[in-house]
Amino acid sequence: MTRSQLDRLEAAHRSIADRVGAPAEIAMILGSGLGHLAEAVTDQTVIPYGEIEGFPTSTAPGHKGQLVLGTLEGRRVVMMEGRLHLYEGWSPRDIGLAVYLLARLGAKKLIVTNAAGGLNGDYAPGDVMLITDHMNFTGFNPLIGPNDEEIGLRFPDMSRAYDPELADKARAAARQANVPMHEGIYVGLAGPSLETSAERRYYRSAGGDAVGMSTVMETIAAVHAGMTVLGISAITNGATGGPEQTIDTVEDVVANAAISGTKIAAMFKTLLPGL
């Protein structure tokens, strides 16, 4: 018999409960090329995903695949240094399990970062975008299947998936850190192939500003679990689908994510103490 999501969550939590220390206040999921943000965490406890019972492992480039617990800018945090993706073969419920564990560790707020292509022609590699909303083009949802009422409602409302109050605090932090920040809609795809030029033009015409292969499963699960969500994209490549479209490489994506990551880290110095 397939184990329920609640059973999986409780087993995962039990396997690390004696190692996590004080409850987390803020959870963070670090996207491709942004793992260096974990280096600023002090009093670290590092738990590889393979040591968490029933937990998926991360195989994506630039993703170490470990939980990092500790203190960042005076706040108790738990970070996923390396996320899980549909294209790795993990199910939506596997990805949801990871978010539920972050909530079980005490976090009420989730900051999710990602590397994304810029559908919006005004965006350049190395820019930062505040996610104001998303469009789920993956064809999947982590809530499909039996619902565990102890985790969340059967039909969670997603009309304010990215919390307006957290967004306001991010805007203030960006201004204080002198970090220019776009605001836009994130388009989530399953991957792993990058979009065709025609697809990119279509997603832009539908209202998308950035496109990537993560985040939407995590945000849905977080809202389901009662967490508030702040989303920030590192713009790593142009993805307009126009005649000027260039070939994208993983190396360029990681390099540009590091540039954006430096700006995001500067924002966090102001943002986290105020959350």
Give me the pLDDT at residue 222, please.
98
Give me the pLDDT at residue 64, please.
81
Give me the pLDDT at residue 3, please.
81
| Segment 243-251 long-range contacts (CB within 8 Å, at least 24 positions apart) | 245/197, 245/200, 248/117, 248/194, 250/61
Ordered DSSP codes for 189-248: ---SSPPPHHHHHHHHHTT-SEEESSSHHHHHHHHHTT-EEEEEEEEEEE---STT----
Confidence of residue 244 (pLDDT cuts 50, 70, 90): confident
Q: Is 151 exposed, middle or buried (0-12, 13-18, 19+ CB in 10 A)?
A: buried
The Cα 169–Cα 50 span in angstroms is 35
For the segment 166-175, what is each residue's pLDDT rounded down to a tens digit?
999 999 999 9
The Cα 1–Cα 222 span in angstroms is 26
Identity of residue 149: E
Confidence of residue 34 (pLDDT cuts 50, 70, 90): confident
Give the least confident one: 10-19, 89-98, 206-215, 251-260.
251-260
Segment 37-44 shows an average pLDDT of 90
Beta strands in 19-148 (DSSP E): 26-30, 42-48, 66-72, 75-81, 109-118, 128-136
Contact 221, 167 (CB under 8 A): no
Segment 143-162 shows an average pLDDT of 96
Contact 197, 169 (CB under 8 A): no
Bridging pattern class, strands 210-212 and 109-118: antiparallel
Look up tokens 């201004």; give the residue.
Answer: 175
The Cα 139–Cα 111 span in angstroms is 24
The Cα 46–Cα 79 span in angstroms is 10
pTM: 0.96
Give me the pLDDT at residue 249, please.
86
Give me the pLDDT at residue 1, please.
43
Segment 137-148 shows an average pLDDT of 96
What pairs with residue 72 in β-bridges?
Answer: 75
Domain annotation for the chain: domains and CATH numbers? 5-274 (3.40.50.1580)
Q: Is the pLDDT of residue 58 over 80?
A: no
- Name the strand (E) or helix (H) holding 38: none
Segment 200-212 shows an average pLDDT of 98
DSSP structure class, residue 36: G
Mean pLDDT, the chain, whole residue set: 94
Q: Is 148 exposed, middle or buried (0-12, 13-18, 19+ CB in 10 A)?
A: middle
Give me the pLDDT at residue 250, please.
82
Give me the pLDDT at residue 35, please.
78
Segment 142-163 shows an average pLDDT of 96
Q: Is the pLDDT of residue 146 over 60?
A: yes
Give me the pLDDT at residue 176, please.
97
